[in-house]
Amino acid sequence: MSENQPLVVSRVDEEHSVLRRRFQEYGYVYFKRAIAADKCSSLLQAFLQQLRPHIDYNEGSGKLLLNGEPFFETDPIWDEVYPKMQSLYDFHNFFHQEDAQRLMQSIAGEKIFVYPMKMGRIASPRKIGFETPPHQDAHSHQAGPTMAGIWVALHDVHEGMGRLKLLPGSHKDGVRQVFSAEGVGGVQCEIFAHENTWHVSNVEQGDVIIFHSCCVHKAEPNTTEDAVRISIDTRFCDYGAPVSPSNFEPHHGWRIEGFDWDSIYQGWSDPKLQYYWRDYAETA
């Protein structure tokens, strides 16, 4: 029988040595309101312009609401809207701004490499059983030894909306065996018998979780009637660390026809992030 405990909170002004020790102890660090609310709201509104009429914002409740049928990553509706989300310059630029960079540097050192693969997550209600199962990024991203993930809440996420859960200390046992499972990614990693305490909390807009590549994590099911959870994440490492070639492709570019970097970059007026990763990919 598993139980939940709240996420351990870190402060952005703590010494990097303290944050790194905590990261090595728990496999993650959690920062409250580390990204400005207006920046999160701006990106969320940009996403909603691409997601309507399927998802909209309710001014009265302050929640994102599903209109019509629920959908899951790889469903036809998702495949329709996701390339539009991915084509937003502000989405990709989000992780290259000083605030996000500073958080990553606190864990990986002064010089970091942000993976080009940026990921938007849509947790739809009424799709119980299709949420992301327990897994390790070390497997799914074929991670190098220093890769970590950074996850950002674009809006408040409460119990029942598909919160992110982490298994503290699970990174210490290395990469685990996997087997087929329903949900995002299609695989679940092994969970050992003694691992029965997960860390999870309600999060606020701008909260950030950085987690080790071997830290087991999953999404809770979205058990609400109509509320949607949208979050973003990417991966990073210290500059010079190995990166598997698949991470230089757009997220789901391997399976959506015509969805590639050229199509993503087509409407960008600022070229500074276009193919910024090519030199790194050639040496990785």
Tell whether 281 is covered by a domain: no
Helix and strand totals (H; E) in the chain:
8, 15
Alpha helices, H only, the chain:
16-26, 37-51, 76-86, 89-94, 98-108, 137-140, 261-265, 278-283
Residue pLDDT, tens place only, 56-93: 999 888 899 999 999 999 999 999 999 999 999 999 99
What CATH number does the domain containing 259 carry? 2.60.120.620
Tell me the residue range of the domain where 127 lies. Answer: 3-273
Interatomic CA distance for residues 120 and 104, integer angstroms: 18
Of 65, 45, 46, residue with least CA distance to 55: 65
Our count of domains for the chain comes to: 1
Q: What is the rounded CA–CA span in Å between residue 26 and residue 150?
A: 15
Q: Give the predicted TM-score (pTM) of the model.
A: 0.97
Per-residue pLDDT of 171-211, as tens digits, reads: 999 999 999 888 777 889 999 999 999 999 999 999 999 99
Asked if residue 279 belongs to a domain, the reply is: no
Of the pLDDT bands very low, low, confident and very high (cuts 50, 70, 90), residue 283 is confident
Any domain includes 54 = yes
